[in-house]
Amino acid sequence: MTTKTTSKIAFLFPGQGSQAVGMGKDLYLNSIAARDVFDEIDDILGRKLTTTIFEGPAEELTRTENAQPAILATSIATWRAMEEATGVLQIPNATAGHSLGEYSALAVSGVLSVTDAVKLVLERGRLMQVACEERPGGMVALIGIDEITAEEICRESGAQMSTINTADQVILGGDHRSLAMAIDIATVRGARKAIPLQVGGAFHSGLMSPAQHGLNAVIDSLAFHDPFVPLIGNVAARSLNTGEEVREELRLQLTSCVQWNNTIRFMLDDGIQSFYEIGHGRILSGMVKRIDRGASITSIGDFASVLAYASAS
């Protein structure tokens, strides 16, 4: 059962890179609702993904085709555990997910069923793995560089803007040669740090284009419902109010820059007072604080934090 809240809140869902062996295990052991989600996803996949999530090895969990459904499973299981613990879960005023996390937001906002979200993420992960092998590349985080300077670096190096996390944290994607050049240029331009990321490829860049056709076919085969919670899109950085708007968002998301800084600012400007990061880790919590130090952000990713949320509610 759900109900509206009087203060404005938003649910945020983490993306790839937030995974860790053992995530969600205490939810599985202590929440029937969470256990049902993990078991359902194992059934959909036809294999024991939960064994990899809970026991590893880390190298296997990190593979794109495993990491993506694992993160989705953990986020949705956390949300269902929150609903179970409170009995009357607050309906957020907005929801958003960072990259892969957008697919968790689709399930929570009612755009896709859990089954369809899992099928879509599974195919997304598989196609992205193939694209990574066909067009090798990587990603680099630039710290202390603003968006305008990052665009200049991209023009000079051939790299592409992949994610704008905060006003001074930008992720670039591209082939290894362009990224090496981008690091050199960024260092000269005064970047505090230029950090190569441990990822399988150049996500949210043109190097993912080999995956686009296959992903579009799956997207077009599914029924997209209008969200009952405003969904703030990665690409649009605005509210997506119909299933067709969400469908178009997903057709663009794979090869387009994630506008996370603008997404959070859109919600702040809309009067969101409190953010909840739902799923493993605190990556988004750190980003929200860097975007607005005064923002209230709570991480919910294990059974203790679920109970704390229920008690506060």
Please give the average per-residue pLDDT across 57-61, as a whole number: 94
Residue 216 gets which letter from DSSP? H
Q: Which residue do the tokens 């686009």 mark?
A: 212
Residue 193 has pLDDT above 90, yes or no: yes
Please give the share of the chain, as a percent, with pLDDT higher than 70: 98
Residue type, 279: G
Q: How far is CA 213 from CA 16, 82, 125, 151, 240, in A?
A: 21, 36, 14, 27, 23
pLDDT at 63: 85
Collect all residues with Cβ–Cβ distance below 8 Å to 29 and sequence separation of at least 6.
Answer: 35, 303
Check if 99 is active-site.
Answer: yes
Q: Cα–Cα distance between 149 and 24 in angstroms, integer? A: 39
Predicted local confidence at residue 6, as pLDDT: 60
Q: Report the pLDDT averaged over residues 181-193.
A: 96
Confidence (pLDDT) at 23: 98
Confidence check: pLDDT of 273 > 70: yes
- Residue tagged active-site, from 18, 75, 204, 285: 204
Pairwise CA distance, residues 23 & 74, whole Å: 7
Question: Is the pLDDT reported for residue 9 higher than 50?
Answer: yes
Provide the residue type at 35 as one letter: R
- To the query of whether residue 204 is one of the catalytic residues in this protein, the response is yes
pTM of the model: 0.94
Out of 99, 109, 205, 256, which one is annotated catalytic?
99
Q: What is the residue-averaged pLDDT of the chain? A: 94
Tokens, residue 86: 């409170």
Give all domains of the chain, ordered by start, each with its CATH number: 2-133+205-312 (3.40.366.10), 138-196 (3.30.70.250)
- Interacting residues of 179 by C-beta distance below 8 A, sequence separation 6+: 137, 138, 139, 140, 157, 159, 172, 173, 196
Structure tokens at 96: 């958003």
Most confidently modeled range among 31-40, 84-93, 127-136: 31-40
| 1 pLDDT more than 60 | no
The band of 199, judged by pLDDT with boundaries at 50, 70 and 90, is: confident
CA 276, CA 279: separation in Å to the nearest integer? 10
The confidence score (pLDDT) of residue 94 equals: 96
Name the DSSP letter for residue 313. Answer: -
Residue predicted with more confidence, 242 or 200? 242
Question: Which residue intervals of the chain are DSSP H helices?
Answer: 25-30, 32-45, 49-55, 58-62, 64-86, 101-108, 114-134, 147-157, 176-188, 209-221, 243-253, 260-269, 283-291, 303-312
Task: Give which of 253, 172, 250, 256 is closest to 206, Cα–Cα.
Answer: 256
End-to-end C-alpha distance for the chain, whole angstroms? 14
Whether the per-residue pLDDT at 234 is higher than 80: the answer is yes
DSSP code at position 125:
H
pLDDT of 2 reads 46
Q: Is the model's pLDDT at 70 over the cut of 60?
A: yes
For residue 60, pLDDT over 60 is answered with yes
Residue 251: is its pLDDT beyond 70? yes
